[in-house]
Amino acid sequence: MSMREALEARLRDALDATHVEVIDESHLHAGHAGARDGGGHYRAVIVSERFAGLGRVKAQQLVFGVVRDWMGREIHALSMKTFVPDEWAGSAPSGADDATR
């Protein structure tokens, strides 16, 4: 299982997510200071009812709590968009286009 697949599985399981999409952008950061050979840069879209009632920062803190033990090792950078299912159904963007909710 690739790191991208492992990250998707962990996020899906820990957050009871109905949709998780992780894009490995490590190749865009080759040589970046602090990133081993450019590895560990990911962008994600996560849809979960667990984000209900949370603001953007709290939702992202919840996600970072799930991957805390991978940060700084397997993951150098993680940007994300978080949605509750109703938001996702109303917008359904294709791909993890940017790091804002």
pLDDT tens-digit readout, 42-72:
999 999 999 999 999 999 999 999 999 998 8
CATH of the domain at 63: 3.30.300.90
Q: Which DSSP symbol is given to 18?
A: S
Q: What whole-number distance in Å separates Cα of residue 54 and Cα of residue 73?
A: 28
pLDDT at residue number 98: 47
**Contact call for residues 48 and 18 (beta carbons, < 8 A):** yes
Q: Which DSSP symbol is given to 5?
A: H
Residue 94 forms part of a structural domain: no
In terms of residue numbers, what domain contains 46? 3-88
Residue 20 forms part of a structural domain: yes
Residue 41 forms part of a structural domain: yes
pLDDT band with cut points at 50, 70 and 90 for residue 101? very low
pLDDT tens digits, 2-15? 999 999 999 999 99
> Domain total for the chain?
1
